[in-house]
Structure 1
Amino acid sequence: MSSPLCPMPLGEIVRDMLGKEKETNPVKSLYHDAFKADIGRWIASCAVIGLAAGIISKNPGQGLLAASAYNLAVGALHFFAVKIPVSPQSMTNPRPPMWYSLILAASTAMWLAALVVMFVKRGDVDAYRDSWLMDNLTIACGCFGVCALADVREGFRKIKKIAPPKDSTSEDV
């Protein structure tokens, strides 16, 4: 997708620089799109690690400490699991193996729990001298959890060949 600032998509620029042909195999391009979603999740997990560590370093109360520790653990787990090597089940079946779908489901559940706990425990912030800083750190950590969850969802959508959600417009009414 091009923009006014960059009329040629970044993927095409990189492909041209490397001298590669455009991928015509739809299965390979689907798995490549899922890999891009994994990279997005990895970037979000790096941010969650930093933000959760920042919250922990401020000596929060028990509830927020537990929420931050859980976010730190989930972020660290996904930091080291950058990309789980996966390929189609067979030449005739392009679906990923069942174990990959199970790992994706567990990952989704972990990120969902992490962001919910972070937003719920945000109420403990008022007791601090620098409550605005803790509040900002907590909100940012929860938001990056949302980003990671969105990247997991995007990868799942690509692997399962689910069409993207259609934007609602006034023409739909």
Structure 2
Amino acid sequence: MHLDQQQALRELHGDYAPLLWRFVMRLVHDRAQAEDVVQETLLRAWQHPEVLTREPNALRAWLFTVARNLVIDDWRSARHRHEFGTVQLPETPDYDQTERVLDAWLVGDALESLSPDHREVIRQAYFGGKDTASIAEALEIPEGTVKSRLHYGLRALRLALEERGVSG
């Protein structure tokens, strides 16, 4: 490209890019798409240097016609018919909760097989988040008894889960 062609293209961009962008924005209401259309319009002018020799009104008409046709072509395209923008992101897929539900059911069933004393200390410790002192106070038993029930209760729970096919 010759120096005078480069200068002509710079002037073309400076003179018409803002006008074309505003025109295309009124048609598409999308900044990125408007910028793409303006760039493509100016690229086509560069590919047809004879356009640059036209009088200003004819040049302007040619540029606006090319921009309008690019927008119309995009509207008619398969991409436009089958794709659409949205402000909201699609919902994120939830992971399959089946295994979690089955695990909860297995643990609940195994807990039911324990003695009420063992089941209660495990429930308060693991599901209630209490420490041994709080459990001892709530059940009115010594802390040592709570520790013993937790130990034997968890061992019985592990065996009950293994009987149900859960390996750990």
Q: TM-score, normalised by structure 1?
A: 0.21
Q: Which has the larger radius of gyration?
A: 2
Structure with the higher fraction of residues in helix conformation: 2
